[in-house]
Amino acid sequence: MGAAIELEGVGKRYLLGEHHGGGTDLRDAFARAVGSVTRRRQRGPRREFWSLSDVSLSVEEGQAIGVLGRNGAGKSTLLKVISNITTPTVGRCRTRGRVGSLLEVGTGFHADLTGLENTYLNGAILGMSRKAVTQRLDDIVSFAGLEGFMETPVKRYSSGMYLRLGFAIAAHMDADILVVDEVLAVGDAEFQQRCLGKMREVEASGRTVVFVSHDLDAITRLCPTSVWLEHGRVQQIGPTPEVVDAYLKPPGSGATASVFDVEGPDGRAALHSVELIDSVGRAVSTFAAGEPIEAHIDLDVRESWPGLDLAVVIINRRGVTVVDDQLRTSTDLGNTHFTPGRHRLAFELPPFLAAGGYTITLWMGDAYDLGRYYEQAMSFTVAGTEPNERTIRWGRPWRVLTD
């Protein structure tokens, strides 16, 4: 087997303020004409933005590769380059075989055509005959769950119906490379599982899958290899668990405390520091399985803040939220407000965390949803290999619900 996808030094530049639409009607033509006049009157050079910079990547035939990164990292641009929707400014991208893409809800659909007509249209775009599409039609309709809606123009579809039909078409056509963006987040949990199962089938059949998702658990289960993009550049390529681990590890991880001095949402309070304390009172970042862990959080309150709340979110190295608990000052602490000064709060982490690495995200705000997130405020590790062998003791008493 050879390489199904090869990128060599690919870069994609956009000029900020430049019109990138492809419309052809009178309204779009007028908008572009007015925009060109306006830009000519602007002073100074237009700013440029590199969505991708010096990206080199090789994906073998039959390989499933995940693409991860934060919003604006260049993931969607990379998929558009692979799908030949966008031409690189510099560098070269080569693909071997047909590419089936699902990049945005409704991509490649003609709004006035029915679901059935769009299915044949997409097949024709991939170079398939009408007979070949017909042979797969029942499977496509069944997978999408759109029996009874295939004669309806897709402009009347909901976003979920768009998604189901688009994925069904892309996955069941004779595409050698299946490119799927984060659009799976639009579907419900049951449909997402079906999509992941179908992508496994595609990979097992010897075809190539490129999968972008913020669901790191899904990427880990589907893709043995992943690439991490940061500000348009390749940060790391390798086995998915290693890439996910590096991606989720915040700067300064392994430290026993994080210091912020970052103001809250309106300046009334600031998160000063966070440290994790073990069972003997030491500030550490590695704990034994089942060992009590406390997060000590220092707040600098500058003005009296009635109803101030804190939330603690714990995320594992697969990106799955395992704890999302909130500290209510009015109930848990018996306070109606925090007075000006520095306050230290303690939050006990649950003792049933499995072995592995975790990050803590904090939220500070009030009941009016005025808040600020401190993402990846702290990282820690629970040591051990067989977390299910220990006895879990959780301090939650039974209570009688009925007499």
> Hey, where are the domains in the chain?
3-30+43-248, 258-388
Say which residue the tokens 């055509």 belong to.
Answer: 113
The token pair at 157 is 């579809």
Q: Report the predicted TM-score, pTM, of the whole model to 2 decimal places.
A: 0.62
pLDDT tens readout for residues 152-191: 999 999 888 888 888 888 888 878 999 988 766 666 777 8
pLDDT tens readout for residues 310-368: 888 888 877 778 887 665 555 566 555 677 888 888 888 877 788 777 888 888 877 76
CATH code of the region 258-388: 2.70.50.60
Least confident among 10-14, 265-269, 286-290, 312-316: 265-269
Least confident among 71-85, 141-155, 327-341: 327-341
pLDDT tens readout for residues 100-111: 887 766 667 888
pLDDT at 316: 82
Least confident among 53-57, 145-149, 269-273, 294-298: 269-273
Count the neighbouring beta carbons within 10 Å of the beta carbon of residue 152.
Answer: 14
pLDDT at 43: 53
Domain 3-30+43-248 has CATH 3.40.50.300: yes
193 contact partners, CB below 8 Å, separation of at least 6: none
pLDDT at 388: 41
Q: What percent of the chain has pLDDT over 90?
A: 24
| Sequence-separated contacts (24+) of 154-162 with Cβ below 8 Å | 154/106, 154/109, 154/110, 154/111, 154/113, 154/114, 154/115, 154/118, 155/111, 155/112, 157/115, 159/105, 159/186, 160/186, 160/187, 160/188, 160/191, 162/105, 162/106, 162/109
pLDDT tens readout for residues 281-312: 888 887 777 778 888 888 888 887 777 778 88
What average pLDDT does the chain have? 79
Tell me the range of 74-88, 188-202, 380-394 where mean pLDDT is highest.
74-88
pLDDT greater than 90 at residue 383: no
